Amino acid sequence: MIPKIYISVANGNLSTELKYLVNSQDKLFHLTDIDYTPTKGDKICLLPGVQLPRTKLKAFNDENGTKNVREASNADYIFASNKTFNEYFTSSGNHWYYKMTKSDLDKLTPYFSSILNVDPVDISDLKDIVEAHQTLHGEVECTIHYNWSTLNLIRDVIAKKKIELSSRWDDSITFNEIHPDFIEEVKFLKTQTIYDVSGLIASISAKNVVIDYEMYGQLKNMLNSNDTDNHVLAMEIMANSNIVESLLFIEMLFKEHSYEMYNCHTRNHVNFKSLCSMIAKQKYRYSTELDDIVKSLINFNVLTTDKLNLLMRHYNAEIMQTGNSTYFHVKTITVADIVHQTVNENYTYTIVDDFEPAVIEEETVEEEVVNTESLNLEDVVTEEVLVTEEEPSFELEVVNTLVEEEIAEEVIEEEEVLPVVEDTTEENNINPITTEEDGESEIDWF
């Protein structure tokens, strides 16, 4: 981690500092996903910004024989969240800095004294710092950063002396500055594996109930009711669910019923406050936008196309009304039927080109060569492989729709030949059960 040279000029004063700056688009350190399985004796360190309820964490430690430690250097597992990074930065937020090369700076410094009234001693100190920095870090051409007010002063020098600099002398970028008190700690953390806290949260709530689409519908009905007892029960179920596995439906319930939750006294219960803390709900604002749901799924690394499809099914009208947002963009525009009929063609206009997924190279697995001569064929057991059809991740039909109604609407495209059961005494033909409803025969599946 190399510091950057930062200069500022104001009222004839030139100051030169070494600052540890991080591009605001980059993470301070990488968060590694983990399917954490606790082992007795594990030492866990939670970095600043990780929000976990103490009661649940204590119960988890007591149950699994793990313990928390304050110092990351003493931990077996270090957990952090996306909020952790800001804890190590200065409180002033992002800094919009400009940058130039040492070659450009050398063209300007001869005029700092005469035009900007800078003390020659400060100019000499700047040159010494730049040369020492290049020597220490082996840089051929280091970069100097400066702020907006210094930029305007440099422009005055350029205009008066007609100095030609490189084309990118005033490029700008936003940085976060690491607080001086945390520099050594950050240097250490950059050498360690830092795990995403979602893996720990998943382990803590692994034994809790998972809210699926059907339960989401039941909880929605409870929150829609006028009975406050139903509201209390629904919020208790949410608070004690498997948060990671249930995250999509928890966020959807917050989006659709934030008013009922906020006006229910259960929001002050320790378990529900813990839920809000872990999924970053504000204390006095439960309202959740569609972008908030996607951001939450991204933060917990559980965003999939199945979940996007479900969000589209529920909120496509909202997306069409609001247009582009942080995570949803309008790709294609079409026209009304009257326009189609007038131009006599199916008209669409593409705004965003198709995304090209990154090509992931599959690892080639070498087949193991088995010496058949050493095998005892009598010990070989032939196993029957059962092929099962994987169930869809989400049931997208309306909640509480009867299965019998769905079967009645299906159109059977192919006939299946039912097996004939043979008996040694007599043959029994198995016939499909027929119904007289609508005058059609249907197969009654069991």
User: Per residue in 64-85, pLDDT tens?
Assistant: 999 999 999 999 999 998 889 9
What pLDDT sits at residue 400?
Answer: 45
Single-letter residue type at 388: T
Please give the torsion angle defined by the CA atoms of residues 292, 295, 296 and 299, in that order, rounded to the nearest 10 degrees.
-160
Task: Look at 83-87, 92-96, 137-141, 369-373 and tell me which has the smallest mean pLDDT.
Answer: 369-373
Q: Which of 108, 112, 116, 128 is nearest to 169 (CA)?
A: 108
pLDDT single digits (tens) 1-33 = 889 999 999 988 999 999 999 998 888 889 999
Strands (E) located in 81-178: 95-101, 143-146, 171-177
Name the CA radius of gyration of the chain, rounded. 32
C-beta separation of 225 from 240 below 8 A? no
Helix (H) / strand (E) element for 31: namely: strand 31-32
How many residues make up the chain in this entry? 446
Q: Give the Cα separation of 295 and 281 in Å (integer).
A: 12
Helix (H) / strand (E) element for 152: namely: helix 148-161
Q: Which residue has the higher pLDDT, 428 or 29?
A: 29
pLDDT at 284 > cutoff 60: yes
Q: Which residues does 269 contact at the CB level (< 8 Å), separation at least 6?
A: 235, 236, 239
Q: What percent of the chain has pLDDT over 70?
A: 80
pLDDT at 402 > cutoff 90: no
C-beta separation of 445 from 404 below 8 A? no
pLDDT single digits (tens) 407-417 = 444 434 444 44
- Cβ burial of 273 (10 Å; 0-12, 13-18, 19+) is middle
| Alpha helices by DSSP H, 263-375 | 270-278, 290-299, 305-322, 337-343
Q: Give the Cα separation of 217 and 212 in Å (integer).
A: 9
What pLDDT sits at residue 421?
Answer: 44
C-beta separation of 78 from 72 below 8 A? yes
The pair of structure tokens assigned to 193 is 């594996």
- Mean pLDDT score of the chain, rounded to an integer? 82
Please give the torsion angle defined by the CA atoms of residues 305, 307, 313 and 315, in that order, rounded to the nearest 10 degrees.
-110
Q: Which of 194, 174, 127, 143 is nearest to 21 (CA)?
A: 174
CB-CB neighbours of 40 under 10 Å? 8
C-beta separation of 151 from 159 below 8 A? no
Helix (H) / strand (E) element for 15: namely: strand 13-19
| Most confident option among 72-76, 393-397, 426-430 | 72-76
What pLDDT sits at residue 371?
Answer: 55
The residue-averaged pLDDT of 207-232 equals 93
Q: Give the Cα separation of 440 and 433 in Å (integer).
A: 11
As beta bridge partners, residue 350 has: 332
pLDDT at 386 > cutoff 80: no
C-beta separation of 130 from 139 below 8 A? no
C-beta separation of 20 from 4 below 8 A? yes
Total-model pTM: 0.65
How far does the chain reach from its first CA to its final CA, in angstroms? 65
DSSP 389: P
pLDDT at 132 > cutoff 80: yes
Q: Which residues does 152 contact at the CB level (< 8 Å), separation at least 6?
A: none
Nearest 5°: CA angle at 302, between 281 and 308? Answer: 90
